[in-house]
Chains A and B, each alone.
Chain A
Amino acid sequence: MKRKKRITNRTFLLTAVIGSFLIMAMVTANSIWSSNQTLLKTEEAVSAVSVFYLDTMADRRAQTVSNQISNEFDQMEKALAFIRDEKIESQEELRDTLGKIRSLLSLNRFALVDRNDIVYTQYTTYTGKSRHEFLSAKKMDDRIISTVSLYGSSKQLCLAIPTPDLTIMGKSFKACFVQIDIQDIINLLAVDDQGRTYFALYTKNGSNLSGTELGPVISNRNILEATKGLVSEEVWKENCDRFAEDARGSMTFSSGDVKGTMCYVPIPDTGWKLAVLIHESVILDQIRDISEKNLSTNRNQIVFSLLAVLSLSSVLFLELMALSKDKLDAEKKTSKAFQTMANTDSLTGVRNKHAYSEYEDAVDQKIQNHEIQALAVVVCDINGLKYVNDTQGHAAGDQLIKDACALICESFPHGAVFRVGGDEFVVILQEKGYETMDEALGKLNKKVEENINEDGVVVAAGSSVLQPDDRQLCDVFTRADHLMYERKSKLKALGAKTRET
C-alpha cells in the first residue's frame, strides 16, 4: 500500500509561493497578449479611420475656402452698390471711393476695369490686359474665378464680377475684381489645423499653389509627380485622372517607414484641389500612447495587486499556522484531560484499573524484553469496607477508601498507586520505591496495627518482587496477592474488622 505523503509547513509554503508566481506570470502574459492583440487590431482600424477622418477634414477645409469666396463675392456686390450710389465725376473721386470700399468692406485690391481694360485701384490706374487673365476673355457674362501666378512667386485667387451697366465719368466699365493672396487662404485654413496633418492646394495638373508641404515625402513638389512610384501604376493613373477632373479621391502610400494617407477634394469653381495628408503613425502613435499608458497602468496594478495578494496570503498563512498550533495545543490538552479522566479513579485521585491494565501491558513488554531488572508489587486491601458501608453508609465507606488510599500513598511516596478494585490497591515499586519497599511496608504495617486499636483505617498489604522466571507482572501480582491474604488473616487475628464483623 502506497504511503500517504505528509503535508508539512514547508510544502504548504512552497505551494503558496509557486502558485502565486504562476498566477502572476499568467496574468502578466495574458495582459501582454491582450495588449498586442489590441494594437494589431488598432493598426487595421487606423487605415480605415484615416481615410474617413481625412475625407471629413478635407471637406471642411474646402468648405472654408468656398465660404471665403462666397463672402468675398457678397462684399464685392455691396461695393458695387456703394459705387452706383456715389456720384463720381473724376478719377480722384473714384480713387477716394475705392479707398472707402477698401476700409469699409475690407476688400483688398478691389478694382474696376473699363471697356479698354484699364484697371482702376485706390492708388493706381494701369493697362491690365496682360496682367489679369480674365480680361483676355472676349465676353464676360458671369462671375469668374481664376488663379494668378505673379512674378515673384506670389499666387492669388482672382474673383471677378461683370458690371455691364456700370458707367462712371462717362466711361463704361466691364468688371470689378479682387485678388486674394493664397497665403491669406492658407492662414485661414491653418487656423483649423491641429498640427497633426499636412495640407496643400493644387492646380488640376498637380502643381502646388499654396507652397505648403504635404508631408516630408511629397513636400511642396507637384503632387502627381511626387506620388508616382509610391503607389501602383494603376492607382496612380486613376488618381491623375481624378485630379484632372472635378473628382475627389484618396491614396495610401508607403515610403520607407512612413505610411501616409492622402485625401483630396475639389474646391468648387476654383479648379483647385485641396489635399490633406496624415501619417498613420500620427493616429497610431496617439492610440499607442494611450494603450501603452493603459497597459503600463494595468501592469503596475497587476504587479501591485499580486504583491498585495502575496502579502495577504502570507499573512493568512501565518495566521492559519498560528491558529492551527493553538488548536492543536488545545486538542492535546483536551486529549490529555480525557486520558487523565479515563485513567484516574475519581474518588481517590490515583490511577484506576484501566490505567493499571495499560501499565501492566507496558511492563509486561519490558519484562519480556528484559528491560526491567528490579520491580516490586504491593497489593493492598482495605479491611472492613463492607462493614462500614453496611453500617455507616456509602459516604463513610468512600471516606474509608480515601483514607486508605491516603495511607498507601503516604507509605509509598515513590510508588505508582492504582485502585484496581473496590477496596483493593496495587503499588508498583521501581528504582527508589523498590529500594525503600521494606521500610515503607514496615511503616505501613505498623501504622495499620496501631489503627486497629484506634478504630482507624486498616489495610492488609502483601508484596512480591520480580523473579527471573517471571514472564509478566501478573506473576509478581499473584504472589503479592497471596501474601496480602496472609497478612489479612494476621490482622484479623489482631482484631481488625472483617467482612464478617
Chain B
Amino acid sequence: MQRGFQKLHSVILALMMMLVLVACPSASPAEDSREASPPAGSTDPAELPSGEGTSKEAAPVNSAVNFNHELDSYVPQKDHYNFYFTYKTVHPWWDSVALGMEEAQRQYLEKGIVVTYEYMAPEGASAEDQTKRLMLAEHRHYDVIGVDVADESAISPVIDRMVDAGIKVMTFSSSDAAAGCKRIAYVGNTHNYEDGADLTEALCEKLAYKGKVAILVGSKGAPCHEDRARGARDTIAKYSGMEIAATEYDMDSVDLAYTLTMQILKDHPDLDGIICCNMSNPVGAARAIKETGSHAIIVGMDHDQEALRYLNEGVIYCLGVQDCYSIGFDTLQVAVKIADGNQPGELFPEKTNEITTVIYQKDAAIMLELLYGDI
C-alpha cells in the first residue's frame, strides 16, 4: 500500500509541475500597430468631368479648376523648346496660369523634352510696354511667342507684322487679339462677354431687377475686361429698373479699386451693387464695402484668396472663377505643337475654350480649400 501511495504521489507531483509550467506563459512585448489616420483629402480632380463651355452653375464647384492634367499623345519633334510669353501685368491671376505651365513643363521633362521659357509682364498693364517686349523678343529666335493681349487695337497689328516676318505667335490666357489677327491660336477664356453678362444677371436677380449699380473694369483696352463690361452693360440695359451709376477702371490695382469704390459710394450712397470685371476689382470693392458698411452687393471675377474670403463672409455675392491652371497647361502644350509647325485643326483648336464657374457663398470654403488649402 505504501508503494502505491509513492507511485501516486510521483504522478501527481509531475502533473503539478506541468500545470505550473503551462501557467507561466512567456511574456510577449506589447505589439502596437496603431496606424496613423490618413489626412482628409479633397475630391480627386481626376474623377471630375473636364467641363467646357461658359459659366454655368450646373458645373460642380470643385471642378471649377482642374489640377489633374496629362500631356496628350502628341510626340514633339524636338528635345528642346524655348518660348517667350508676355502677359498684361504682374498679378496673382497670371501666377496661377504660370503654375499650369510649369506642370506641363515638368511632364515634358519627364519625357526627356526640355522646355525653357520666359514669362514676363510689366508692373502695370500697358500696350506700349507690351509692344516693346514683343519687338525685343522677335529678334531672339524663340520657337513661339505667346501674348496675352493688353490692348487688342494696339497689339494686334504688332502680332500681324511678326507673323508676316515668320515668327510663330499665339495668344493666351485672358485676352485674344482682335478678330482677323494672324496669330496662330488662342488658349484661354473665350467667353468674357458671357461671363460679364452672367455675373450681372445674378446681381439683377438678387436685386429683383431694380437698383443702381456701378461697373468696375480692369485695364482700359484689355479685351477680356472690356468684353465683360460690355456684357454687364448689355444685361443691365435689358431691365428698366436697373441703372448704371458709374463705370471706373482700376488698371488691375487693388488699391485703386478700393479708392474708386470709396469714391463711388461717396457719390452714390444708395448704390445697390457693383459689377467687378477683373481679379483686383472685387478685392478693392469688398474692402470699401466692409469699411463703409454699405449694403451694395458685389459680383466679380476670379479667385483671389482675399476675394474668396469675402465671399465666404458674405461681403461678395458671387465670383466667376476661371480655370487658370488649365489655361497655363494647355498654353504650353499648344505652344509645343505650334513650334513644330502645326496649324489649328486636329491637334489643337484655333481657340481652346476654358471654363468659368460662378460660385456663391456656400461654395467659398470648398474653393478656398481647393485653391489655397485655406481651411
Task: Please give the residue numbers on chain A whose beta carbons come within 8 Å of chain B beta carbons, in ascending order.
Answer: 95, 118, 123-127, 129-131, 149-155, 190, 193-198, 207-209, 211-213, 215-216, 219-222, 282, 286, 289-290, 293-294, 297, 300-301, 303-305, 307-308, 311-312, 314-315, 318-319, 322, 326
Chain A positions within 8 Å of B58 at CB level = none
Q: Mark B35-74, 1 if CB is under 8 A from A, else 0.
A: 1111110100000000000000000000001010000000
Report yes or no: B19 in contact with A213, Cβ–Cβ below 8 A: no
Q: Complex Cα distance A207/B375, Å?
A: 6
B42, B94, B373, B375 interface centre (most CB from chain A within 10 Å):
B373
Q: Complex Cα distance A190/B375, Å?
A: 21
18 further interface pairs, Cβ-Cβ under 8 Å (given A125-B118, A193-B36, A219-B40): A124-B105, A124-B116, A124-B119, A125-B120, A126-B120, A130-B91, A151-B96, A151-B371, A151-B372, A152-B67, A153-B371, A195-B33, A212-B39, A289-B30, A304-B23, A311-B15, A315-B9, A319-B9
Residue of A129, A207, A209, A219 touching B90 (CB-CB under 8 A): A129
Report yes or no: A126 in contact with B39, Cβ–Cβ below 8 A: no
Residue B179 is within 8 A (CB to CB) of chain A in the complex: no
B276 CB, nearest partner CB in chain A, Å: 18
Q: Complex Cα distance A130/B99, Å?
A: 13
Report yes or no: B37 in contact with A198, Cβ–Cβ below 8 A: yes
A443 CB, nearest partner CB in chain B, Å: 49
Interface size on B, residues (CB 8 A): 62
The 6 A-B residue pairs whose C-beta atoms are closest, nearest first, are A153-B373, A304-B23, A126-B119, A151-B96, A308-B16, A131-B95
B14 CB, nearest partner CB in chain A, Å: 11
Report yes or no: B16 in contact with A131, Cβ–Cβ below 8 A: no
Report yes or no: B374 in contact with A207, Cβ–Cβ below 8 A: yes
- B21 nearest CB neighbor, chain A only: A304
Chain A positions within 8 Å of B35 at CB level = 195
- B87 nearest CB neighbor, chain A only: A127
- B97 nearest CB neighbor, chain A only: A151
Chain A positions within 8 Å of B27 at CB level = 293-294, 297
Report yes or no: A315 in contact with B36, Cβ–Cβ below 8 A: no
With A207-B374, A322-B5 as known contacts, state yes or no: A127 contacts B42, CB within 8 Å: no
- A118 nearest CB neighbor, chain B only: B120
Residue of A155, A300, A319 touching B25 (CB-CB under 8 A): A300
Report yes or no: A151 in contact with B5, Cβ–Cβ below 8 A: no
Residue B370 is within 8 A (CB to CB) of chain A in the complex: yes
Report yes or no: A123 in contact with B121, Cβ–Cβ below 8 A: no
Grouping DSSP codes into helix (H, G, I), strand (E, B) and loop, the B interface class, with mixed when no group exceeds half, is: mixed
Residue of A127, A221, A293, A300 touching B120 (CB-CB under 8 A): A127
Report yes or no: A221 in contact with B2, Cβ–Cβ below 8 A: no
B193 CB, nearest partner CB in chain A, Å: 25
Q: Complex Cα distance A319/B2, Å?
A: 9
- A117 nearest CB neighbor, chain B only: B90
What are 14 A-B pairs at a CB distance below 8 A? A118-B120, A129-B123, A130-B92, A131-B95, A151-B325, A152-B96, A153-B42, A153-B369, A212-B39, A220-B375, A303-B23, A308-B20, A318-B5, A322-B2
Chain B positions within 8 Å of A95 at CB level = 116
A153 CB, nearest partner CB in chain B, Å: 3
- A319 nearest CB neighbor, chain B only: B5
B9, B305, B324 interface centre (most CB from chain A within 10 Å):
B9
Report yes or no: A315 in contact with B116, Cβ–Cβ below 8 A: no
A24 CB, nearest partner CB in chain B, Å: 14
Chain A positions within 8 Å of B34 at CB level = 195-196, 282
Grouping DSSP codes into helix (H, G, I), strand (E, B) and loop, the A interface class, with mixed when no group exceeds half, is: mixed
Residue B115 is within 8 A (CB to CB) of chain A in the complex: yes
With A151-B96, A303-B23, A315-B9 as known contacts, state yes or no: A127 contacts B119, CB within 8 Å: yes
Report yes or no: B102 in contact with A124, Cβ–Cβ below 8 A: yes
Report yes or no: B99 in contact with A150, Cβ–Cβ below 8 A: yes
B124 CB, nearest partner CB in chain A, Å: 12
Q: Complex Cα distance A471/B55, Å?
A: 145
Q: Complex Cα distance A215/B140, Å?
A: 56
Q: Complex Cα distance A198/B39, Å?
A: 10
Q: Complex Cα distance A286/B24, Å?
A: 21
Chain B positions within 8 Å of A195 at CB level = 32-36
Chain A positions within 8 Å of B92 at CB level = 130-131, 151
Q: Complex Cα distance A315/B8, Å?
A: 8
Report yes or no: B19 in contact with A151, Cβ–Cβ below 8 A: no
Report yes or no: B373 in contact with A155, Cβ–Cβ below 8 A: yes
B107 CB, nearest partner CB in chain A, Å: 13
Q: Complex Cα distance A208/B374, Å?
A: 8
Q: Complex Cα distance A273/B108, Å?
A: 37
Chain A positions within 8 Å of B98 at CB level = 126, 131
Report yes or no: B120 in contact with A213, Cβ–Cβ below 8 A: no
- A282 nearest CB neighbor, chain B only: B34
Q: Mark B310-347, 1 if CB is under 8 A from A, else 0.
A: 00000000000000110000000000000000000000
Chain A positions within 8 Å of B208 at CB level = none
Residue B191 is within 8 A (CB to CB) of chain A in the complex: no
A152 CB, nearest partner CB in chain B, Å: 5
Report yes or no: B121 in contact with A311, Cβ–Cβ below 8 A: no
Chain B positions within 8 Å of A208 at CB level = 373, 375
Report yes or no: B120 in contact with A301, Cβ–Cβ below 8 A: no
Q: Complex Cα distance A311/B9, Å?
A: 10
